[in-house]
Amino acid sequence: MLKERISSLNLKGKTSALEEEEVVELHELLVNLHSLSLIRTSVSWQQARLRWLQEGDANTKFFNGSMLARRRNNSIQLLQVNGVQIEGVQNIRSVVFSHFSSHFHKLEVSQPGVENMRFCQLSMVEAGNLIRPFTLEEVKQAIWDCDRFKSPGPDGINFGYLNQFWNMVKDDFMRFIVEFHHNGRLTKGINATFISLIPKVMSPQRSNNFHWWDLCIRC
């Protein structure tokens, strides 16, 4: 009944000014509605997780149905390009690549120069600090400063994983950091990116009906 009372107060507020008691009541109703919505969302999430834990990881009808539904929703059967229907994996891939490749072209933009500008210079000690080896404390602090719930890379690992299992992975992680400091090179493929297409509309049939999202292996 909260929504009905909120709706009636909103309708009254459109035609005349609400009394002070009604304003207070409306505020309390909105707070209660928000709290109930959060509780309902939490319960639904827990129920979904419970069902998935019980049935999702096994080779069950529920698991296979979930995977088939997801595959159907993510598949692109055809695209319309200049009034022509494009079908087939290779043809669709070529069209999508051509459409989104412009986002990754380097634009020739005139950059302001730094000639005749005066800069403060670093001291020898400050300059030396810029190239000193990374310490375990610095690396750990950098990881802890990152959002633990960022989307994981293609390997399924995010910063929350590194936080939780830091004592187990810190030695391997530091070996990677030290190797980078010594060689000045990152491992080939460290900045590889997967492009995910996110539909803007239901049943998209054109390239511009998709958002694109780049998913880096490790940021």
Q: What's the chain's length in residues? A: 219
For the CA atoms of 130, 131, 135, 141, what is the dihedral angle to 10 degrees?
A: 40
Let me know if residue 39 belongs to a domain: yes
Output the pLDDT for position 146.
Answer: 86
Q: Residue 197 — pLDDT band, cuts 50, 70, 90?
A: confident
Let me know if residue 19 belongs to a domain: yes
* CA–CA gap between residue 198 and residue 204 (Å, rounded): 10
Q: For residue 54, is pLDDT > 60? A: yes
- Tabulate helix, strand, coil % of the chain (nearest 5): 55, 10, 35
Whole-angstrom CA distances from 63 to 8, 29, 44, 66, 74 are 45, 40, 19, 5, 17
Contacts of 148 (CB under 8 A, 6+ apart): 158, 159, 160, 163
Let me know if residue 167 belongs to a domain: no
Query: Where is average pLDDT lowest: 124-138, 172-186, 191-205?
Result: 191-205
- Phi and psi torsions of 94, nearest 5°: -65, -40
* CA–CA gap between residue 148 and residue 59 (Å, rounded): 30
Query: Which comes out higher in pLDDT, residue 136 or 55?
Result: 136
Output the pLDDT for position 136.
Answer: 92
Domain count, the chain: 1
Let me know if residue 15 belongs to a domain: yes
Output the pLDDT for position 218.
Answer: 44
Amino acid at 65: G
Whole-angstrom CA distances from 7 to 3, 19, 30, 40 are 6, 16, 11, 21
Range of the domain at 13: 2-68
Q: Residue 154 — pLDDT band, cuts 50, 70, 90?
A: low
Let me know if residue 40 belongs to a domain: yes
% residues pLDDT > 90 (the chain): 5
Let me know if residue 26 belongs to a domain: yes
Region 182-202: mean pLDDT is 75
Sign of dihedral through CA atoms 50, 52, 58, 64? positive
The answer to whether 196 touches 213, Cβ cutoff 8 Å, is yes
Region 74-100: mean pLDDT is 80
Angle between helices 20-51 and 2-15 (to 10 degrees): 140
Q: For residue 216, is pLDDT > 60? A: no
Region 180-204: mean pLDDT is 76
Let me know if residue 165 belongs to a domain: no
Q: Between vectors from CA 156 to CA 154 and to CA 158, what angle results, nearest 5°?
A: 105
Output the pLDDT for position 137.
Answer: 92
Output the pLDDT for position 141.
Answer: 92
Output the pLDDT for position 219.
Answer: 39
Q: For residue 49, is pLDDT > 80? A: no
Let me know if residue 36 belongs to a domain: yes
